[in-house]
Every structure is written in C-alpha cells, then in structure tokens.
Amino acid sequence: MTETKKPDPKFERAIPPGDNVERSICAACGFIDYQNPKIVVGSVAFWEGQILLCRRAIDPRKGYWTLPAGYLELGETAEEGARREAREEACARLEIDRLLAIYSVPRISQVQLMFRAHLVSPEIAAGPESEAVGLFLWDDIPWGDLAFPTVDWALRHFQEVRGRDGFAPFSNPVDGV
C-alpha cells in the first residue's frame, strides 16, 4: 500500500469575501488563518503593603524586574492564568481581588489584563523564568530597572487605587503606547 502525501498548503495574502482585512488564505482549500493579538495575564500582588516583583531570567529584558505575568493558555480563565503565572514565576499563591487594568500594546500585538491580588502568604521563591523575586515597599521599587512600560503603568495604577474597593479598570495612559 502506498501512502499519498498531502501537499503542504500554500497560503496567500488576500481579503476574504465579506471581510475588510488582508488575511493569510490557503490557496487549495480557502482556509483562513486568522492571526489575532495574544492575551497576557498578570497581577500586582501584595502582602502587608509590599508588592511582589520578579527579576526576569529570560529574554526579552532578562535581568529586569516585572510583575508575574504571561500568556493566557487555552481553556483557562484570565484569573486562573494570572494565578498560574504567579505560581510559575514566584512560587506564589494569590487571591485575585479585581481587574486593575486592560492595556493594549498593538506594536507587539498584545492585550494585557492586569489584576489586583493579594498573596495568600509571604512564601515566595524564584521559578524557572525568574532570577530572583522580592516583596518591595513602594519607595524601594527598582523603578529604573522595570522590564516593560506596562509594569510601570500597573504599579502606578495600583498605587492610585490602593485601599479602594470600587474603581473602574484602567487603560493605557494618554502618553502610553
């Protein structure tokens, strides 16, 4: 019995019927390969007035400080993803309080959902993607060594609503991306 190998699909860029955006379309079958922004989930997690930060052990921005955050996985809620990222990066257990901010970063095709959360305990340790982790008082945050603008935004937005129960989620600052 001979096996027939299917040809690799050949994708072409075109605007599908009924659409207004150029997409990658299979020339053989018409399959449209939609490419959409990635969703990042993370948290500003605190313990007794201190904020959890992780020093990145991976690129991009290896050696710089960030909040525990990463890509949302298929089949998980945004809150589950934020808790998972805290466990993976800082061996931290946290409880989500509420959505802090939604940031749009179109130049890298990301939408970032940042939560306000509190640590269940101060027990933290560096995970495989972190060189170090720490709990920082506001004045001790390494502002000059933050990995990404959205980390700065989330920290400042967190500080703005610290101690408040009700607030609307923030978005990109006017001078942001």
| CATH number of the domain residue 56 falls in | 3.90.79.10
- Coil vs helix vs strand at 1: coil
The boundaries of the domain holding residue 122 are: 38-160
Residue 121 maps to a domain: yes
Token pair for residue 2?
């001979």
Return the amino acid letter for 8.
D
Residue 122 maps to a domain: yes
Q: What residue ranges of the chain have pLDDT lower than 50? A: none
Q: What is the pLDDT of residue 42?
A: 98
Q: What is the pLDDT of residue 6?
A: 60
Element (H, E) at 152: helix 149-160
Q: Specify whether the CB–CB gap between 15 and 21 falls below 8 A.
A: yes
Q: What is the pLDDT of residue 174?
A: 87
Cα angle 55, 57, 62; round to 5: 80
Residue 176 maps to a domain: no
pTM score, whole prediction: 0.87
Residue 141 maps to a domain: yes
Over residues 2-30, the pLDDT tens digits come to: 566 665 679 999 999 999 999 999 998 99
- Coil vs helix vs strand at 54: strand
Residue 1 maps to a domain: no
Q: How many residues does the chain have?
A: 177
Residue 128 maps to a domain: yes
